[in-house]
Amino acid sequence: MDQSVAIQETLTEEESCIIAVQCLLIVDSITESRLLGLVERGQEHALFLFTHRRMAITGDDITLDKVVPITEDFVIEEVTSPDELAIVGSDTTVRVTLPGLELRLRLLFGSHSRLFLYEVDKACQVCKQSSTETPKSQFVWLSKYCRSSKTDNPPGKEQAIQTSAQKGINFSKIGPVKKSGKSVVDGKTLGTEELKVINRNEQTGLEHNVDRPAKVKGEARHDMVRSSSHTLSNKAQMLAMPRFGLRDNLIKCELLKNEEQYTYIKNFSFFIGTYNVNGQSPKETLRPWLSCTPNAPDIYCVGFQELDLSKEAFFFNDTPKEQEWTKAVSDGLHPDAKYALIKLARLVGIMLLFYVKKEHAEYISEVDAETVGTGIMGRMGNKGGVAVRFKFHNSDICVVNSHLAAHVEEYERRNQDFREICSRLLFRQLDASLPPLTIVKHGIVLWLGDLNYRICELEVDQVKDLIEKKDFKALHSYDQLKRQIDENAVFHGFKEGEIAFQPTYKYDTGSDQWDTSEKCRVPAWCDRVLWKGKNIKQLEYRSHMALKTSDHKPVSSLFEIGIKVVNEEVYKKTFEEIVRAIDKMENECIPSVTLSQREFVFKDVKFMEHRAETLTIHNDGQVPCQFEFIQKLDEPAYCKPWLSANPCKGFLAQGGEVHIDLEVFVNRSTATELNSREKTLEDILVLHLQRGKDYFISITGNYLPSCFGSSLQLLCHLREPIQDMPLETIRELTLMPQDSTEMNSVIAEPPLEIPKEIWMMVDHLYRSAAKQEDLFQQPGLRSEFEEIRDCLDTGMPDSLPGSAHSVAEALLLFLDALPEPVICYSFYQECLDSCTNVLMCKKVITKLPPCHNNVFNYLMAFLRELLKNTVYNHLDINTLASIFGALLLRSQSKQDITEKKKAQEFIAHFLI
């Protein structure tokens, strides 16, 4: 940790001895934050007490305050009394005494504190033992430090420590920092309570709606989370911290099991708002929307879609609209309260803002945000979701803002987007070794956004007639989302309130008039708010017609949500009972489990096909146990990259079971080696029980070779579908160098100019989709991609199945999976350097191997044909250059924005 570096810089370094330091934050009797180090030199030990700045990073940030030698008279004891019963999350108070000296130190709760006290106790034992065997310690090595510190020394030591020099130092076992007392943050003096909501790793302040800056800078924004000043309301967070052993996990498990005994439900108001702003800047106050409630909400979660529709935002995820709309929201919050911006999460044009009343901020913890793009190739961020998770008191909450696929007929794609967000949006836990949390693992889930479900089976005039009659119940029966929920196809377990407001899409911008454009869109309830969880009551669900900035109207939902708050007195009793019970059963026997099976076989695995089997672990022992899949010798992870186990680590109560999903998924990073048989679907998982034995689980399978992940050179030599070729032939061709002439000896026939797979996809698009709107921008269906992949790999049927969007996405995935891109890696830098010169760009292409040269020219000719139909497909040079530049001209490392723009410019020369 940084504190160890800071302490190390304060100590003199010489090579003739070794000193070990245990670093821990303490709070003494005057409530100042300190760093406490246990220093060892030979058989002598001393405690070093440092004062420090808010974040100690270098030696200049800390000052040595006291030096306390550990002599035979040194005593350290834990201070306990009936009134100071230890509870989870509380600190440990110890008293340090020497003749003429007494210090009270409060150490952070946790295993690291216990370890530190253990090390101090060992030092005391060493001192007592050495005092009987050798002359009394002189502590002469402390002299340099005592001159600049308020040293407390036992009688008779003063003269001894004035001479000699200190030797070299090593550090280990560094503990966390805790904030307490007063501190200056951004020029403002804050007390203990305010510091609870300040991240211990970042310097930040509260952004209140009474004194907001004129401009909100995204790069200067910090997230407010609770520091390590543990209060009763965040016991679960504290227990979830790493470095806790089996005993602490037992306590955590039992506390969570008995949570209802020591918590009570307290209601808080949540304002959930969603607004598709159609790429516009804020032109009007948001008060009619955000301040529509008579009382100030406790929490705001405000979501936007289509924040910025520019190409720059789409490809480079950078937009000034973030600052504009964040300021507009801050200015529009309820005037009767002061709010703090806790988190901002954005993916291209999808943004989620999370505000909380200042007085509640200290009870917010474990704040995290994640994003998932579900646009073209399943990654682009023009569609997808952003989510923020947090704990409020003892309730865990997840808020999701999503923008799903557009167009009336694409309801299946919207369903798929929802499933993709639920499965791919994962939150890291405080303990990085634990499996990530999915959306549905939270007790309360609030889902908002432009879900894009439309009204179907009615003509536009019929819809408007029902709206005019305010017969929203009849109109709602034709709503796609309602029908899909009723069929259990989407949002399983979620609820939505009664819709008593007119559709929020689509209006002429700046008015309340329905769409008068040529397309004359059918009105629809695109903008929705749903929820899942207990103790949730919707008080209001409405639209806000007063706002006219966009072609959508904003929607809000006011909830009264019951949050679990800790009863401190009952919690103490519950904890005490759990500790006594665990003390009784601890070490009774070795943990033991039974596995449902030891061998798993995955037959005929295909490219980008998710396969899963379930391993059930049953705890048949006498005690709870902790399990984990561990790494094998000389391997970087517990499993091969195409395999995962979820969860990979966990805790099992006595008699309990856990179901582990063993998932196999071959993607672009693993397909090439599996195609060539350099690697096979074989692995052995080692399941380790803490304090128990290891279990071995065998994973085997066969991978069906695919054109996806195969090189252009290989595919040009295959006239038959790849799955019709002998596996040995594929292996030989794959392992040969790109420019090897030996390939002709393996396959007698001359190679094709371009792979037949590329020809099939491009020819299909050229013949049937040249005028298709949103081509290469609208994603296809996963099921259709699988059919296209099978057709390319087996040659059956002769023509490609699926929609034009699915074929287009398959082509992009094919290019993305190439082990060597169309423009070879060796030419990457030369292409970037030539991007401003057309002739130089064309010259570089002539240097490519024949098959790469042919494929590049073929694709460029196809894209130029598409641009001839730009009136229909709405494609332009910049869009195509951005999409294909990232695939045809890619780096082996991550590209920065400058490189992306140069690649786009390079490809654009060939599209004109």
pLDDT digits (tens, 9 = 90+) for 337-353: 999 999 999 999 999 99
> What are the E-state strand segments in 656-726?
657-664, 682-689, 694-703
- Mean pLDDT (whole number) for 683-702: 93
Q: Is the pLDDT higher at 860 or at 244?
A: 860
pLDDT at 399 over 60: yes
**Residue 162: its pLDDT value, please?**
33
Six token digits for residue 73:
């008279």
pLDDT digits (tens, 9 = 90+) for 766-780: 999 999 998 998 889
List the one residue out of 715, 651, 703 whose CA is nearest residue 678: 703
> pLDDT-derived band of residue 787, with 50, 70 and 90 as boundaries?
very high
Amino acid at 62: I
The 10 Å Cβ neighbour count of residue 857 is: 15
pLDDT at 492 over 60: yes
pLDDT at 201 over 90: no
**Residue 165: its pLDDT value, please?**
27
- Mean pLDDT (whole number) for 470-489: 96
Q: Which residues pair with 495 in a beta bridge?
A: 531
**Residue 309: its pLDDT value, please?**
86
Q: Is the pLDDT higher at 790 or at 7?
A: 790
pLDDT at 51 over 60: yes
319 in Cβ contact with 328 (< 8 Å): no
pLDDT at 86 over 60: no
The b-or-e profile of 885-910 (16+ CB within 10 A means b, else e) is bbbbbbbeeebeeebbbbbbbbbbbb
- In whole angstroms, give the CA distance from residue 449 to residue 386: 10
Q: Is the pLDDT higher at 245 or at 541?
A: 541
> pLDDT-derived band of residue 912, with 50, 70 and 90 as boundaries?
confident
> pLDDT-derived band of residue 186, with 50, 70 and 90 as boundaries?
very low
Q: Is the pLDDT higher at 147 or at 405?
A: 405
**Residue 189: its pLDDT value, please?**
29
Residues 6 or more apart whose CB falls under 8 angstroms from that of 902 comprise: 831, 832, 835
pLDDT digits (tens, 9 = 90+) for 820-845: 999 999 999 999 999 999 999 999 99
522 in Cβ contact with 458 (< 8 Å): yes
> pLDDT-derived band of residue 8, with 50, 70 and 90 as boundaries?
low
- In whole angstroms, give the CA distance from residue 699 to residue 78: 51
Q: What is the enclosing helix (H) or strand (E) of 763?
A: helix 756-768
Q: Is the pLDDT higher at 717 or at 277?
A: 277
> pLDDT-derived band of residue 12, with 50, 70 and 90 as boundaries?
low
**Residue 218: its pLDDT value, please?**
36
Which single residue is written with the structure tokens 């209001």?
540
Helix (H) and strand (E) counts in the chain = 28, 29
Residues 6 or more apart whose CB falls under 8 angstroms from that of 477 comprise: none
- In whole angstroms, give the CA distance from residue 403 to residue 383: 5
> pLDDT-derived band of residue 378, with 50, 70 and 90 as boundaries?
low
pTM assigned to the model:
0.62
**Residue 745: its pLDDT value, please?**
55
pLDDT digits (tens, 9 = 90+) for 247-299: 677 788 888 888 889 999 999 999 999 999 999 999 999 999 999 999 999 99
> pLDDT-derived band of residue 796, with 50, 70 and 90 as boundaries?
confident
Six token digits for residue 335:
């005037």
pLDDT digits (tens, 9 = 90+) for 215-243: 333 333 334 443 323 333 333 433 333 33
113 in Cβ contact with 92 (< 8 Å): yes
Residues 6 or more apart whose CB falls under 8 angstroms from that of 694 comprise: 630, 686, 687, 688
The H-assigned helical ranges of 399-513 are 411-424, 460-468, 472-476, 480-486
764 in Cβ contact with 799 (< 8 Å): yes
Q: Which residues pair with 271 in a beta bridge?
A: 300, 558
93-97, 204-208, 403-407, 428-432: which range is least confident on average?
204-208
Q: How high is the mean pLDDT of the chain?
A: 81
String of DSSP letters for 540-584? EEEE-TT--SSSB--EEEEEEEEEEEE-HHHHHHHHHHHHHHHHH
**Residue 265: its pLDDT value, please?**
95
pLDDT at 188 over 60: no
- Mean pLDDT (whole number) for 861-886: 93
The 10 Å Cβ neighbour count of residue 387 is: 25
179-183, 286-290, 396-400, 583-587: which range is least confident on average?
179-183
**Residue 411: its pLDDT value, please?**
94
Label residue 795 left, alpha or beta by phi (over 0 means left) and psi (-120 to 50 means alpha): left
pLDDT at 671 over 60: yes
